[in-house]
Amino acid sequence: MTIQPLADTNLFKPIQVGRYKLQNRVVLAPLTRFRNDVDQAPTELAVEYYGQRSAKAGTLLVTEATLVSAAAGGYDSAPGVWSGKQVAQWSKVFSKVHENKSFIFVQLWHLGRASKPDALKARGLSYVSASASYISDEDKQLAEKVGNELRELTIDEIKQTVKDYAQAAANSIKAGADGVEIHGANGYLLDQFIQAISNKRTDQYGGSVENRVRFVLEVVDAVVAEVGADRTGIRLSPWGVFGGMGGAEYNPEETFGYLLEQLEKRAQEGKKLAYVHLVEPRTGALLAEVELVEGDNGFAYEKWSGPIIRAGAYHVDYDLILRDVGQDDRTLLAFGRSFIANPDLPERLEQGWELTEYNRNTFYSPGPGGYTDYPTHK
């Protein structure tokens, strides 16, 4: 795809994000790639991959979703940031990004019920969520078959998980990351607490909107206390239906409006997050075969006064890029699939160079194919 040069648009206007001055608003979206080693540590390929995509100075990258603890998930090839080896390997990635004078935040992740009960069972780990509410009958049947049925986190486990997020944030900064992004989107653990469809609790973490967002706010406060608000971002998907989220009675603006109000309250008290990262409604289903929810993230600008990263199929719509990045001066745009296939995407967008088409078949395959072998324009 060939587009017009965007050099003279807001996409290439500098912006302050937390403690960092970015030179453009093209953000590498967090993209699970499953190329990590058996110890769930990034490899030398990851160093090359992130290095390629940070080549234009002043660009912000968000890492692939990174597990905060061994208990946070059962994906063998997903990275973690709890062990010494993982921290050491991430340090190489961050050093490479900094050589290019760009910035990188680690996305902190807990799968909750989106994990696999059999993989957890093999590790001696429990299958947990906000409640014992499965995504699908298939998940329930598998959990029963392997003897690792879904259960709700206990209060003590919630408190420990909050500590896990804070420790993972500290480990990320120790490794050299510029900041962390709390993954509160796409049907993973924090989203499972936020949304009523997956949260059936009757204690202080369930029921009312105030109770359902309590956990994520505790995580935010713990991470901010550990690394600073200006090195902390959060990702949310108000209209998302991936992972069994949403539901007929769901009111995103009420639920996430309250959450954003609480983040804004903290901002007014001197603890303003670096950014809020929103998944757009048009991509809320991700790869799920479901009908997209009609919605608009515009309400977030009324609730939250800081920078907002918007993520959602910008690779296919030039007019959409111009509309969203120009609509409000606080806006950045996250690119996923097009950044996979175009390691020099910021420069291509700036100059109007043709974009290479991505190959979906190699998104998660092992090795360099579809990972580090996409060409630059020159």
Report the candidate in 143, 135, 56, 67 with the shortest Cα–Cα distance to residue 103. 56
Contact criterion met (CB below 8 Å) for 255 and 245: no
Among candidate residues 49, 50, 127, 188, the one labeled active-site is 188
Residues in the chain, pLDDT under 50:
285
Residue 47 to residues 88, 227, 234: CA-CA distances in angstroms? 12, 24, 24
Report the candidate in 246, 230, 228 with the shortest Cα–Cα distance to residue 238. 246
- In this structure, the chain runs to a length of 378
Give the pLDDT score at 261. Answer: 98
Residue 7 to residues 14, 39, 373: CA-CA distances in angstroms? 12, 42, 26
State the Cα–Cα distance between residues 42 and 51, nearest whole angstrom. Answer: 13
CA 97 from chain center: how many Å? 19
275 noted as active-site residue: no
Residue 369, token pair as written in the block: 């194919």
Under CATH, domain 10-362 is a member of which superfamily?
Answer: Aldolase class I (3.20.20.70)
Give the pLDDT score at 1. Answer: 53
Give the pLDDT score at 76. Answer: 86
State the Cα–Cα distance between residues 304 and 290, nearest whole angstrom. Answer: 30
Instruction: Determine the 3-state secondary structure of 50 from DSSP.
Output: helix
Give the pLDDT score at 148. Answer: 98
Contact criterion met (CB below 8 Å) for 215 and 193: yes
CA 232 from chain center: how many Å? 12
pTM: 0.96
Contact criterion met (CB below 8 Å) for 188 and 240: no
Contact criterion met (CB below 8 Å) for 142 and 117: yes
Instruction: Determine the 3-state secondary structure of 164 from DSSP.
Output: helix
